[in-house]
Structure 1
Amino acid sequence: MSAKWTDPILLPIPESFESQRLIIRAPQWDDGIKVNEAIRESIEELRPWMPWAQQVPTAEESEVVSRQGRVHFLERSDMMLYLLHKTTGRFIGSSGLHRIDWQARKFEIGYWIRTSSSGQGYMTEAVDRITNFAINVLQANRIEIRCDSRNAKSARVAERLGFAKEALLRSEKQGVDGSLRDTLVFAKVRGAEF
């Protein structure tokens, strides 16, 4: 699929969309306190997988990350997305489209969920909706999910949503503990999975 190149900053990309139970949206000013509360609750579950979760951030540090996420979204260089419960407004977790290659229309979905919201299908619901957003709105040709091979919960989200397991990259990345980790690569590709 060949399309005329348009600078991504000119693309009319909505800042918010919904799934059955969630509002999925770009970060906004003053989101940091909600994000920080979820990180504090979930730090022990996040620490093995997320380099940024080795220490509990301050609320101000979480606000800085949220504001940077907003700027990157507007620049179209990275698309951090926050997951909020439609009824309560509670911050459920974070996801987004990262490592974007606009010319190839390739995106990587990353995600984490707060501990008290885990196991309720929220992340599968969110990733499914973000995948559809990437396909239908952003005209994605390739969508990847990458995770540490030992992160079974993360891998199950990709498997449930029909992402094809393409590779096990051995000793591909340094883990938060300094050891070399294997990375699983899952993907959906236009013409094959959608």
Structure 2
Amino acid sequence: MAAIDPIIYSIPESFESKRLLIRAPLWNDGVKVNEAVKESIEELRPWMPWANNIPTVEESEINCRKSRLQFLDRSDLRLLLIRKGTDEVVGSSGLHRIDWQSRKFEIGYWVRTSYAKQGYITEAVEAITNFAINELQANRIEIRCDERNKRSARVAERLGFTLEGVLRNDKYDVDGSLRNTMIFSKVRGVEFPLKI
């Protein structure tokens, strides 16, 4: 099968869930993202290597602009989670480590501390999963998390993702020790319908 350059794909830049506007990053989102990261840095540090240091507003803006460019060239589809009726960033998610030929995507996510334990991430991941299935014709969707990150694993379990296994000593943790990675997935024809 001939490979198609993914830059040609028309992909919606935003969609909604019950409480969230889920959208690609835009220029000048850095300030809002920076506020969310600063508020949540202690909760992010154990799981996110990029959270070792609090970014400056300029660094957050650069990160958002790079994410915008990656969205446009389809190499990574980062999505900001914006609470409807406000301009407040609830968290960040997206579709990463994309294999366009096999239509495989990995969903990553983090939530702002003041919005934790309110179901926002479960709601967002469900909407992003449906977006990947319906808009991007996903054949496989993965969620990977540190085996110790029970809250992240519960999101995958609540949404019907199957635990395929645990990769032992798979990655270095933020403190430099080896960690285990849980791999959850949904696969077309098993957890969601076959293409027609």
Q: TM-score, normalised by structure 1?
A: 0.97
**Paired residue for 1:62?**
60
Task: State which of 63, 71, 78 in structure 1 corresponds to 2:69.
Answer: 71
Tell me, what secondary structure is at the counterpart of 2:31? helix
**Paired residue for 2:109?**
111
1:126 aligns with 2:161: no
The CA deviation at 1:89 is 2.1
Aligned ranges for residues 14-93 of structure 1 at < 5 Å? 14-93=12-91
**Paired residue for 1:181?**
179
**Paired residue for 2:98?**
100
Write the distance in 1 (CA, Å) between the matches of 2:4 and 2:181.
Answer: 33
The CA deviation at 1:87 is 1.5
- CA deviation vs aligned residue, 1:19-47 (integer Å, no higher than 9, x gap): 01000000000000000000100000000
**How many aligned residue pairs are there?**
192
The CA deviation at 1:72 is 0.1
- CA-based RMSD of the aligned residues comes to 0.9
Aligned ranges for residues 167-178 of structure 1 at < 5 Å? 167-178=165-176
Write the distance in 2 (CA, Å) between the matches of 1:54 and 1:32.
Answer: 18
**Could you tell me the percent identity over the aligned residues?**
68
Write the distance in 2 (CA, Å) between the matches of 1:7 and 1:48.
Answer: 37
The CA deviation at 1:6 is 2.8
Write the distance in 2 (CA, Å) between the matches of 1:20 and 1:89.
Answer: 16
**Paired residue for 1:11?**
9
Write the distance in 1 (CA, Å) between the matches of 2:5 and 2:134.
Answer: 18
- CA deviation vs aligned residue, 1:136-182 (integer Å, no higher than 9, x gap): 00000000000000001100000000000001111000000000000
Tell me, what secondary structure is at the counterpart of 1:138? coil
**Paired residue for 1:147?**
145
